[in-house]
Structure 1
Amino acid sequence: MCGIIAVTGRPDAARVLIQGLERLEYRGYDSAGLSVTDGEGGIVRVRVAGKVNELKAAWNSREAGSCGIAHTRWATHGPATEANAHPHTAGRVHVVHNGIIENYRSLREATTKAGATFHSQTDTEVIAWLYAAALEESNDVVDAFQRTVRKLEGAYSLAVMVDGEDDLLLGARRGAPLLAGFDDTAGYLASDPLALAGEAQSLIFLEDGEIAAVRPGRVDITDLTGRAVTRPVQPAQLSPVLAEKGSYRHFMEKEIHEQPEVVARTLGAYVDQVENTIRARDGLDFSKASRLLIVGCGTAAYAGEVAEYWFERIARLPTEVDIASEFRYRDPAFLEGDVALFISQSGETADTLEAMRLCKAAGLITVALVNTAHSTMAREADIVAPTLAGPEIGVASTKAFSCQLAALACLAVRAGIERGHLDTASVTDHVAQLMAIPGTMSEALRADGQIDQLARDLSRSEIVLYLGRDQYFPMALEGALKLKEISYIHAEGYAAGELKHGPIALVEEGVSVIVLAPSDSLFAKTRSSIEQVRARGAHVLALTDEAGAEALEGLVQASILLPAARGAANLMSAAVAVQLIAYHVAVHKGTDVDQPRNLAKSVTVE
């Protein structure tokens, strides 16, 4: 949700902090700030209401010391103002925080009665006042920090520095990601390993209820009572090159074009090409499953809805898809033999994580489909199903979504094998379809120029409707979501067969309708839906193949030609098209493509 980075033992601390914030800005960009030792026994703090480049300008390369903390914010408590920007201070304490402190009001009332004067509307400032008060009672800065953290309820990751402790950083986590890093001469804290790419040599991922004391070259971890904790040390594997746009205008554009490569990488984790099959996953036996529950948020939920068609059709496995926030609170009824699969790019999505914990407590087998190997969901799930999209910086998910679809398609085939619904010839055919996906997506990218031209007119639309049938219905929902997210055009996705049950009332002269219309067994019915909206004056754009375009000639304003393919490959070429439509429309509208308003990449609070 927000981004944290902290460093000690680096003479270029401010540079490391600002560079880290630039990489973390996908997590929040309403405001930003940093506090750095000034080399003379004090700490200098600079904050802005705005993005990291504005903080960089405000900092203006001033001299500073070797220890500091920094933050880029997505507003929760209080609007995006300089006063609400992190770090927050009280006494000797400077603190940055991701998450929400649920008992903030009672803590604020207590600290105010004790003499605290608040300067912001955030819940974070109360942490600074609590710790400042604890330091007045104890000379042990770590013990005072532990006592402070024990008073907090809710989700948080914290990075703290104390005036007079020039080489010490303190971190704590509960329900929001935090990791520590180190090398021979420096120490780090961050909310995402991407922030430390090219800096730290080794990483330690904190668990809930743990505190890190970070000094140059050293990280000590304890629980909230002060008992020492040992955590595995992981090599830092990310390259700083991964955070660069290269020749592309936006990260989203780059990530759309990376999809053939990263989808191929993901398929390689599931497909055994020598044996022409899908590898089994330890601990996961679909033959014993009575039902598959799929849970996610936003784009991840739409990936699950696509997969529902696949699991039921290929494996005859009853499947239900839920939005995580609704699943948690509707008191779901479980069946014996239920398997629950949770989809999250970050592996930290708060609602999805809590839904997984609910299922785990009920005794269900839990599967985490995640892009982040060391995330909380990956650590807590019974089984991890990886996606290998690499870091995704653009807030609107593209390559992570495609890798989720690729992994789900593989799992559906594996389920069909284990449940006895696929013979050897069928498995071989499904594997061939799966391995065709990267090439099909690469071919679909050739429509980029045509889509760019068509997007100019679409960018002037006030409303855009997406229609699809079968597996293309959730893809229509995803297409509408992408357009909403980055162009701010009111877009809706519908099942094409539902037109006469209400949505057709929205169609009038000039309304734009985008129809996913592959020349498959349902093409005639899709064509009928096109005729219905065309008769009412809609401006129709079809996403189809050569045969479909020929059949629709004269009926639609334009057809975007996609490669003819089978199964998941056909669907995923359509994914490329709806992503490119959203991207180019947003560019023509002049919106902030990578950092759309009010959104953040990883939502780690409810």
Structure 2
Amino acid sequence: MCGIFGFVGKEVSLNLLLEGLFRLEYRGYDSCGWAAVKTNIVFLKKEQGKIYQLKEKLKDNLEERYPLSILHTRWATHGRPNKINAHPHFDCKKEIILVHNGIIENYLSLKEELIKEKHNFLSDTDTEVIAHLLERFYQENLEEAVFKTAKKLKGTFALAIISKKEPQKLIGVRKGSPLIAGVSKKGYFLASDIPALLPFTRRVVYLKDEEVVILTKEKLEIFNFKKEKQKICIEKVKIKKESAEKKDYPHYMLKEIFEQPQVLEKTFSLYLKEGKVNFPQLNFKENYLKKLKKIYIAACGTAYHAGLVGKYFLEKHAQLTVEIDVSSEFRYRKLNLNKNDLILAISQSGETADTLAAVREAKNKRAKVLSICNCLGSSLIKESNGFIYTPCGPEIGVASTKAYTAQILSLYLLGIYLGLLKKVLKEDQARIILKELKKIPFYQKETLKEVDKIKKIAKKFSRLGCFLFLGRGISYPSSLEGALKLKEISYIPAEGYPAGEMKHGPIALIDEYRAVVCVVLKDSLYEKMIANLQEIKARKGKILGILNKEDKEAKFLCDEVIFITSLKNQDLSPLLVAPVLQLFAYFVAKNLGCEIDQPRNLAKSVTVE
């Protein structure tokens, strides 16, 4: 992995093509490269490091126009991050050139075969095997070689392939890794994600799994791996180009933190009509949902933490049994699923490999799938029986912020909807919850006004080398998410724990050099959290408290405090705690000089297992 961009058509300047690649930077990468074919000449340049460094090396070519190009950003999976292992890769004759996202699981055995056939390998990557397989099979034309090669590969792959022998053709291949074709008057594009296409077109074709797209100046054709021609469905992307830009913010992450109130308001406008919750794309019969007794949630990372919040809320207000697993582990459980079971899959991108694998495993057992997702054309939505769309717009920062709170709000609304449908939540109770829930965007705006105070606190705490995040009940997922945000972008070791587990291990870490971030709400667990604060204080731990306003008792025990609005229904508090923890992590990372939008070793969409 991580980013693919390609073009075939009327000649386009290299400078413009690099704009498409720049828009994939948010996915994270350690090297990049470009290849083109023009007047029977192959142009190729690779660089370890950032796209601007590649651009500098290509400064004499930037205004040159090319009819056929492929570009790539790479996160190392096989082979170190260096110029040799960077994409594009090519065959022995340097006539077939390609870029690849994914992992080829059987590349070693294929490489041994090809070495015996006298193929010469230059890199340590799995990708280079594909180029040599294409060389082996190339006889009539490039697409025939592609079909034969695809049959030999095990694993996941999205490919963009060009050849010196056929300088008017760009071929894309998808198996388990996203790939999108863009349609414009200038020609056709390939990209691994929508933002790369926005400067050029909003007309797109989402490739399905095991499909090959053949692009020339004149036409677009799609075939499945059996060489059967497929129907072309061109969709119009509603995302505006500006929504994927930073505007006046120094980082995408900060912009996206401040967008959260608007995202929640958009979510309400989609699913709350005349005081009633309604999901147009749910696609389940009411009778099925009324009889539903159990939900299995599968998600990864931040989406998993949103799912944990949802578990608490669904169990309480819809009286459902909810099991939740990290998607990669869900697949290894021997669950006795059937057609009556519901899997709730949560993913910002809709392309998370482990979540998709969990969904496919569940569908093989005839379970139904409901997804919560931010990308309408994604694999997850297409493979689900029903879905809830989170209207966040593009989330560019690798550390998820606005998608997290939109997922939580969607889960709250789902809990209210199911509770009413199953008649375990009374109408007046639902009205009270919704009334307070609709005030959350305003309360978030009030919280975000504390940005200068949070910045000062973050500067003070950034000197500490280890963090513990604690919460109880529905605040426990907030502690996990706070720890994840901090470690993702500041690289400081941080752990999230239920506060009740503190004496079962984490307390051994606490001393005057350690920070403990505690979410303390005025709820039924308040006294227990006060006891935790006392224990931390006795061991000289530095305490940052996220407290309800006017909580003097907890404030007295903390070194620093950040206040949030006191809610009548504290089950909704994760939506107020989240922006505080996000801003805290952001300013700690900024104070340490970290690369916030593209933290090391992380990708925005984890499209490999």
> Structure 1 pair 251/535, CA: closer, same or farther in 2 (3 Å)?
same
Q: Secondary structure at the match of 1:248?
A: coil
Q: Deviations over 1:420-449 (max 9, x none)?
A: 111221121122122122112111111211
**Structure 2 residue 122 is the aligned partner of structure 1 residue 123:** no
**Structure 2 residue 105 is the aligned partner of structure 1 residue 102:** yes
Identity %: 38
Per mean C-alpha deviation after superposition, the further-off stretch among 566-575 and 523-532 is 566-575
Number of the residue aligned with 1:48: 47
Offset, 1:278: 4.3
Q: Aligned partners of 1:567 and 1:218: how far apart in 2?
A: 57
Q: Deviations over 1:98-124 (max 9, x none)?
A: 001111112111111111100001111
Offset, 1:526: 1.2
Number of the residue aligned with 1:307: 310
Q: Aligned partners of 2:581 and 2:546: how far apart in 1?
A: 9
Q: Secondary structure at the match of 1:471?
A: helix
Per mean C-alpha deviation after superposition, the further-off stretch among 372-381 and 422-431 is 422-431
The aligned runs of 1:362-381 (5 Å cut-off) are 362-381=365-384
Q: Aligned partners of 2:406 and 2:25: how far apart in 1?
A: 23
Tell me which of 534, 544, 547 is aligned to 2:547. Answer: 544
Tell me which of 513, 531, 535 is aligned to 1:532. Answer: 535
Q: Secondary structure at the match of 1:533?
A: helix
> Structure 1 pair 208/317, CA: closer, same or farther in 2 (3 Å)?
same
Letter in 1 for 2:141: D
**Structure 2 residue 348 is the aligned partner of structure 1 residue 345:** yes
Number of the residue aligned with 1:489: 492
The aligned runs of 1:96-175 (5 Å cut-off) are 96-135=99-138, 138-175=139-176
Q: Deviations over 1:116-164 (max 9, x none)?
A: 10000111111111112222xx232222222222221210000011114
Q: Deviations over 1:547-593 (max 9, x none)?
A: 22x22243211111212233454221100001011100000011110
Number of the residue aligned with 1:36: 36
Offset, 1:41: 1.9
Q: Retained in 2: the 8 A contact 1:184–1:216?
A: no
Q: Secondary structure at the match of 2:23?
A: helix
Q: Secondary structure at the match of 1:266?
A: helix
> Structure 1 pair 335/149, CA: closer, same or farther in 2 (3 Å)?
closer
> Structure 1 pair 267/61, CA: closer, same or farther in 2 (3 Å)?
farther
Q: Aligned partners of 1:199 and 1:47: how far apart in 2?
A: 24
Tell me which of 436, 439, 443 is aligned to 1:433. Answer: 436
Offset, 1:378: 0.6
Q: Retained in 1: the 8 A contact 2:339–2:365?
A: no
**Structure 2 residue 563 is the aligned partner of structure 1 residue 564:** no
Q: Deviations over 1:57-83 (max 9, x none)?
A: 122141342210000011111111100
* Structure 1: unaligned runs, 5 residues or longer: none
The total of aligned residue pairs comes to 601
Q: Secondary structure at the match of 2:425?
A: coil
Q: Aligned partners of 1:497 and 1:341: how far apart in 2?
A: 28
The aligned runs of 1:152-301 (5 Å cut-off) are 152-272=153-273, 274-279=274-279, 281-283=282-284, 285=286, 286-301=289-304
Q: Secondary structure at the match of 1:514?
A: strand
Number of the residue aligned with 1:5: 5
Q: Aligned partners of 1:97 and 1:344: how far apart in 2?
A: 23
Q: Retained in 2: the 8 A contact 1:197–1:237?
A: no
Offset, 1:544: 1.1
**TM-score between both structures, scaled by the size of structure 1:** 0.96
Q: Secondary structure at the match of 1:406?
A: helix
Letter in 2 for 1:466: F
Q: Aligned partners of 1:10 and 1:459: how far apart in 2?
A: 52
Letter in 2 for 1:598: N
Per mean C-alpha deviation after superposition, the further-off stretch among 482-491 and 285-294 is 285-294
Letter in 2 for 1:31: S
> Structure 1 pair 194/504, CA: closer, same or farther in 2 (3 Å)?
same
RMSD: 1.6
Q: Retained in 2: the 8 A contact 1:182–1:203?
A: yes
Q: Secondary structure at the match of 1:150?
A: helix
Q: Deviations over 1:242-267 (max 9, x none)?
A: 22111111111111111111122123
Q: Retained in 1: the 8 A contact 2:304–2:346?
A: yes
Q: Deviations over 1:269-324 (max 9, x none)?
A: 2222x144444733164322121110111111111111110001111101011011
Letter in 2 for 1:40: T
Q: Retained in 1: the 8 A contact 2:3–2:192?
A: yes
Q: Aligned partners of 2:60 and 2:400: how far apart in 1?
A: 34
Q: Secondary structure at the match of 2:511?
A: coil
Offset, 1:11: 2.5
Number of the residue aligned with 1:474: 477
**TM-score between both structures, scaled by the size of structure 2:** 0.96
Q: Retained in 2: the 8 A contact 1:134–1:147?
A: yes
> Structure 1 pair 580/139, CA: closer, same or farther in 2 (3 Å)?
same
**Structure 2 residue 402 is the aligned partner of structure 1 residue 411:** no
Q: Retained in 1: the 8 A contact 2:547–2:554?
A: no
Q: Aligned partners of 1:223 and 1:553: how far apart in 2?
A: 63
Q: Secondary structure at the match of 1:7?
A: strand
